[in-house]
Amino acid sequence: MTLTPKNAGWIEVICGSMFSGKTEELIRRLKRAEIAQMKTAIFRPAIDDRYEKEHIVSHNQSKLKSYTVEKAVDIIPLTNNANVIGIDEAQFFDEDIVSICRELAGNSCRIIVAWLEKDYQGEPFGIMPELMCEADYVSKLRAICVVCGDPANFTQRLSKETRQVVIGETDIYEARCRGCYKPPDKS
């Protein structure tokens, strides 16, 4: 059993590769908070235009109403005194996301953050390692490798695009295990 603080906020992190169920787990936790009559506020980055603008949506189409914001600092004015705050696809926010999460947790909020742990090169995604160090609880999820069926912890980009951020789905990415993952050619 995990004990949680009674008189303080905290930060929960849900991380993993693409298709590992991060958003699904975020939605599950937020729905449980709503059942418990807690006030929630949910945020998603504007850059992620794969689904509906006013919802976070998992790959299996589970969804919750959310705010779409451009920058991390836009989150605080929209929390509306919520005591449970969900943030999806945090890797797409600017570096202020860490201080925003820290500030909200310091105000006795439960913060649940989901993000892509590694980029397509298999490297930590931006400022996410700093947020992971700030977290009180970490859940690392794994997908299923589409090549061999083993647990997958890498996101294989199928296109030749070299920008770190390329928004896409199964048309551009696959979940791969360490053995089946092929790092991009760095030449």
Radius of gyration over every alpha carbon of the chain, rounded to an integer in angstroms: 16
Q: CA 156 → CA 27, 110, 120, distances in Å?
A: 25, 32, 6
| Cβ atoms within 10 Å, residue 75 | 22
Which pLDDT tens digits describe the chain residue by residue (187 residues)? 455 566 789 999 999 999 999 999 999 999 999 999 999 999 998 887 666 677 666 666 677 788 999 999 999 999 989 999 999 999 989 999 999 999 999 999 999 999 999 999 999 988 889 999 999 999 999 999 999 999 999 999 998 888 777 666 667 899 999 999 999 875 4
pTM for this predicted structure: 0.88
Q: Indicate the residue type of 84.
A: V
Structural domains present in the chain: 10-141 (3.40.50.300)
Q: CA 160 → CA 13, 120, 172, distances in Å?
A: 30, 11, 10
User: Which secondary structure element, helix H or strand E, spans residue 115, and what is its range?
Assistant: strand 110-116
Q: What residues pair up with 15 in beta bridges, in sequence order?
A: 115, 140
Active-site residue set: 89
